Structure 1
Amino acid sequence: MELTALYARSVDLAAEVVDTVTPAHMDLATPCGDWTLRRLMEHIVGQHQGFAAAARGAGPDLALWADAPVGDDPAGAFRRTAEDLKAAFAEAEAEAADRKLWLPEIRDGGPFPLELAVGFQLVDTLVHAWDVAASLGTPSGLAAAVNGDPALAAALVSASELVPAGPESRGPDRAFRERLPQEDADTPFERALALLGRDPAWKP
């Protein structure tokens, strides 16, 4: 599955961003509503653990998706759990490419085809890495790296287009805000951000 390799690439790019996070940054604001950078990192790590459990056959148990503490080593927590998730996706693909995963935080919980689940997580990885970079004031490097990889950029936009746009899925208390106009989106990454309700010009 090409998407699994693209997901691994997204993790590598995200890790380069997260490696620059230090304990001194953890109270910074983020594009994610009132979340601090610590809360965002705990969410990201919790999502890694939830997706890994789902890839290994866990049922729709929300407790497996809880935010996870990152302590004073957010980069280490990210890398450990991201590598485990990459391994879990690879294991699932090797066992059965038509594997279905329960994702209790998404829509009706599923089950979802493995390829769709990998696409969801690719979006999460790249967009939350952008959130982290924006919080640090350095979002342009990640966006440029993704835009410079046509296959990865296309996968990001395609998966972002699948996120429901209705009011039941969008809003201040939802995972994504309302879609923004895409007329001014000059790059694939900006288009994906607009599809997900992120302002590419956001600053702390």
Structure 2
Amino acid sequence: MDTTLDPRPVYQRALDQLEKLFAAVTPDRMTRPTACTEYDLRALLSHTVGGIHRIAYVGEGGRSEDVPAWIEPVADDAWPAALGRARVRVTTAWSDDEKLERIASVPWGELPGRFALGGYVMEATTHSWDIAQVVAPEAALDEHLAQVALAIAEQTLPTDPRGGEVPFGPVQPAPADADVYTRLAAWLGREV
């Protein structure tokens, strides 16, 4: 699927995947580390839901920089509901086709809404992998999502420099026979 045409269907597919993973979250895992090393599971869930609210705010006409990339504390058993509220908001915010052409302000620049939302496809898909490593390492993740996210990452994120304004670590090596999620994680600086 080419997210330059309309990223909304693939973003909804990424949210479907997140919903399944959030349903597997249990309170006893909240302080476990994640592959996104700056976050434990609780902080990563907050960042992930916050990112959905952030791109919803962009769809509503705001600048992503004006809202935090996390949400207020959520009870350990209330993450699926928090994700559900964010999903309703983002779906409503991006329902108008004209928003795909409107210039949007996101952390990586000002660009047409379709490209801004495409970046959040990469974000939601990557964090699905991060979350799955903690809550359901055996889960079969949607390979198509990872293919789309990896294509976005390779087109938009330089291999060098990383860090600072490019909030990813250096590209990590991945085995030659690695699946697409492992390649995506490695491209975004996760040790795989």
- The answer, yes or no, to whether TM exceeds 0.5 is yes
Question: Can you give the 5+ residue segments of structure 1 that lack an aligned partner in the other structure?
Answer: none
User: What are the superposed Cα offsets for residues 118-155 of structure 1, whole Å, 9 maximum, x if unpaired?
Assistant: 2111111111111111122x2342xx4322x3xx3431
The change in CA–CA distance for 1:199 and 1:95 in structure 2 (over 3 A counts) is: same
Name the CA distance, whole Å, in 2 between partners of 1:99 and 1:135.
37
Matching residue of 2:183: 191
The change in CA–CA distance for 1:2 and 1:61 in structure 2 (over 3 A counts) is: closer
The change in CA–CA distance for 1:35 and 1:61 in structure 2 (over 3 A counts) is: closer
In the alignment, is the contact (CA less than 8 A) between 2:59 and 2:99 conserved in 1?
no
1:57 deviates by 0.8
Matching residue of 2:151: 158
1:77 to 2:82 alignment: yes
The change in CA–CA distance for 1:22 and 1:174 in structure 2 (over 3 A counts) is: farther
In the alignment, is the contact (CA less than 8 A) between 1:185 and 1:194 conserved in 2?
no
1:145 to 2:141 alignment: yes
Task: Give, as a single letter, the amino acid of the residue that structure 2 aligns with 1:170.
Answer: G
Name the CA distance, whole Å, in 2 between partners of 1:82 and 1:164.
30
The change in CA–CA distance for 1:118 and 1:19 in structure 2 (over 3 A counts) is: same
Question: Can you give the 5+ residue segments of structure 2 that lack an aligned partner in the other structure?
Answer: none
Name the CA distance, whole Å, in 2 between partners of 1:146 and 1:28.
24
Q: 60, 82, 93: which is aligned to 1:88?
A: 93
In the alignment, is the contact (CA less than 8 A) between 1:22 and 1:74 conserved in 2?
no
The change in CA–CA distance for 1:81 and 1:187 in structure 2 (over 3 A counts) is: same
Matching residue of 1:57: 61
In the alignment, is the contact (CA less than 8 A) between 1:41 and 1:74 conserved in 2?
yes
Length-normalised TM-score, structure 2: 0.84
Q: How many residues align?
A: 185
Name the CA distance, whole Å, in 2 between partners of 1:97 and 1:87.
13
1:179 to 2:182 alignment: no
1:30 to 2:34 alignment: yes
Task: Give, as a single letter, the amino acid of the residue that structure 2 aligns with 1:146.
Answer: D
Moved over 4 A (4+): none
